[in-house]
Amino acid sequence: MRIEAEDRHLHSKAILMSQTDKNDVLDALRAVQDPDLGRDIVSLGFVKDVKLCGGVASATIELTTPACPVKDLMKHQAEQAILSLPGIDRAEVSMTARVRSSFPGGTGMLPAVRNVIPVASGKGGVGKSTVSVNLALALAQSGARVGLLDADIYGPSIPTLLGKLEQPVAGDDNRIVPAFKHGIKILSMGFFLPEDKAVIWRGPMLDKTVTQFLAGVEWGELDYLVIDLPPGTGDVQLSLCQKAPLTGAVVVSTPQDVALNVAKKAIFMFQQLNCPVLGMVENMTGEIFGSGGARKFGEKLEIAYLGEIPLTAEIRIHSDEGNPIVIAQPESPEAEAFRTVAQNLAAQISIRNLAGELKQDIKVSF
């Protein structure tokens, strides 16, 4: 009798399985939403390779960035959705990522770079370079392919912030092969400038250098190229906006009104040059400079707020030592703050790029 009962159970299960197909799996997965994009993962085209075999259903979810903070949650939700189907005993969900390009057709100057993100500030002294370095490293730690270009020709600081680096070398066709450390490709004027020398150049020389650092470098395939700009709204910014295919800019400011009022000039510059502003970062948040100024400022201008970085001695000490905080203390609150900014930035890039692919308006606010 027991054998007969088991046979009936297996027979019933087989009937249920025969009634479940790939479309049922897709319908079940519509319950899973990407919280950044506000849409279900099926309509967004994230679900790939749905398969059924016996009581096992499998699928791959291809996100738009490896820097997604809720990918584990989404995987769990997808597994539970699949397991709710009749006849399914096991759900196998694989999470992958493919960073979309701002320029699907490619560009001549940076043909294999998917997204170019200049990091700017209206004035100096707001920690823009520290933000650029830790932002690039945080994106790389998520699994993205990242390059970091120090375009602050007059005052390059990236080599100092990253510590001892191998010198770039000449590759094929005399193109520059960038330095490599902590998983990112790096290039800076600081590699070519003696410490006791200053750059005293007019606009044409700056323009030529920007072109060389973009088109004359073996950047290879990158998901994100972060560009640390000099402060202000001068020749380097103008050359970059005119020559490079820019995804959008990040503007860094301290919470003070004086810094925010100058940051506004950088924002207006990018808007005049048809470069989107992806968001604002508030750096040096704390008792000394206050907090919340950049968030309110961004809301007023309808610009996304990417996050805040606290003013702490740890960030300063590790920066001076050439050991950025996301490398030196990856579990620290400061490193987590930089990761949050990186995740929010990646989300803004994904929103813009995916909206272009789907030819639909996708909006999100932080």
* Residue 366 reports pLDDT greater than 80: no
Question: Residues 140-182: pLDDT tens digits?
Answer: 999 999 999 999 888 889 999 999 888 888 877 889 999 999 9
At residue 7 the predicted structure's pLDDT band, cuts being 50, 70 and 90, is very low
Q: Where are the beta strands (DSSP E) in 218-301?
A: 224-228, 249-253, 277-285
Question: Residues 208-241: pLDDT tens digits?
Answer: 988 999 999 999 999 999 999 998 888 888 898 8
What is the reported pLDDT for 289? 85
- Does 8 map to a domain? yes
- Does 90 map to a domain? yes
Give the other-Cβ count within 10 Å of 8's Cβ.
Answer: 10
What is the reported pLDDT for 284? 95
Long-range Cβ pairs for the range 176-179 (8 Å, 24+): 176/212, 176/216, 176/217, 176/218, 177/217, 177/218, 178/147, 178/217, 178/218, 178/219
Question: Residues 93-136: pLDDT tens digits?
Answer: 999 999 999 987 666 789 999 999 999 998 888 999 999 999 99
Share of the chain above pLDDT 90, in %: 63
Residue ending a domain, among 68, 97, 126, is 97
Co-location of 91 and 120 in the same domain: no
At residue 10 the predicted structure's pLDDT band, cuts being 50, 70 and 90, is very low
Burial of 335 from C-beta contacts in 10 A (0-12 / 13-18 / 19+): buried
- Does 232 map to a domain? yes
What is the reported pLDDT for 11? 45
Give the other-Cβ count within 10 Å of 307's Cβ.
Answer: 24
Lowest pLDDT segment from 13-22, 124-133, 246-255 = 13-22
More confident position, 88 or 194? 88
Helix (H, G, I), strand (E, B) or coil at 274: coil
Does the CA dihedral 194-195-197-201 come out positive or negative? positive
Co-location of 155 and 217 in the same domain: yes
Tokens for 340, please give them: 């949050």
Residue ending a domain, among 38, 64, 97, is 97
* Residue 362 reports pLDDT greater than 80: no
Q: Which of 19, 33, 21, 103 is nearest to 61 (CA)?
A: 33
At residue 190 the predicted structure's pLDDT band, cuts being 50, 70 and 90, is confident
Co-location of 76 and 141 in the same domain: no
Mean pLDDT of 326-332: 97
At residue 3 the predicted structure's pLDDT band, cuts being 50, 70 and 90, is low
Question: Residues 254-296: pLDDT tens digits?
Answer: 998 888 988 999 999 999 989 999 999 999 998 888 889 999 9
Co-location of 90 and 121 in the same domain: no
At residue 12 the predicted structure's pLDDT band, cuts being 50, 70 and 90, is very low
DSSP 142: T
Q: Which of 97, 85, 105 is nearest to 25 (CA)?
A: 85
Q: Which domain holds residue 20?
A: 2-97
Helix (H, G, I), strand (E, B) or coil at 206: helix
- Does 144 map to a domain? yes
What is the reported pLDDT for 106? 65
Going from the C-alpha of 218 to that of each of 49, 176, 310, the distances in angstroms are: 34, 6, 35
More confident position, 54 or 150? 150
Tokens for 183, please give them: 């998983």
At residue 9 the predicted structure's pLDDT band, cuts being 50, 70 and 90, is very low
Judge whether 40 and 33 are in contact, CB under 8 Å. yes
Judge whether 121 and 263 are in contact, CB under 8 Å. yes
Residue ending a domain, among 37, 70, 97, is 97
At residue 196 the predicted structure's pLDDT band, cuts being 50, 70 and 90, is low
- Does 104 map to a domain? no
Judge whether 47 and 60 are in contact, CB under 8 Å. yes
Tallying the residues shown for the chain, one arrives at: 366
Co-location of 211 and 81 in the same domain: no
Cα 321–chain centre separation = 25
DSSP, residue by residue, 149-180: EE--SSS--HHHHH-S-PPPEE-GGG-EE-EE
Helix (H, G, I), strand (E, B) or coil at 43: coil
- Does 365 map to a domain? no
Co-location of 168 and 283 in the same domain: yes
Q: From CA 246, how far away is CA 9, in angstroms rounded?
A: 60
Co-location of 174 and 305 in the same domain: yes
CATH of the domain at 350: 3.40.50.300
Mean pLDDT of 190-210: 77
Share of the chain above pLDDT 70, in %: 90
- Does 284 map to a domain? yes
Residue pointed to by tokens 């291809």: 62
More confident position, 357 or 168? 168
* Total number of domains constituting the chain: 2
- Does 363 map to a domain? no
Co-location of 130 and 79 in the same domain: no
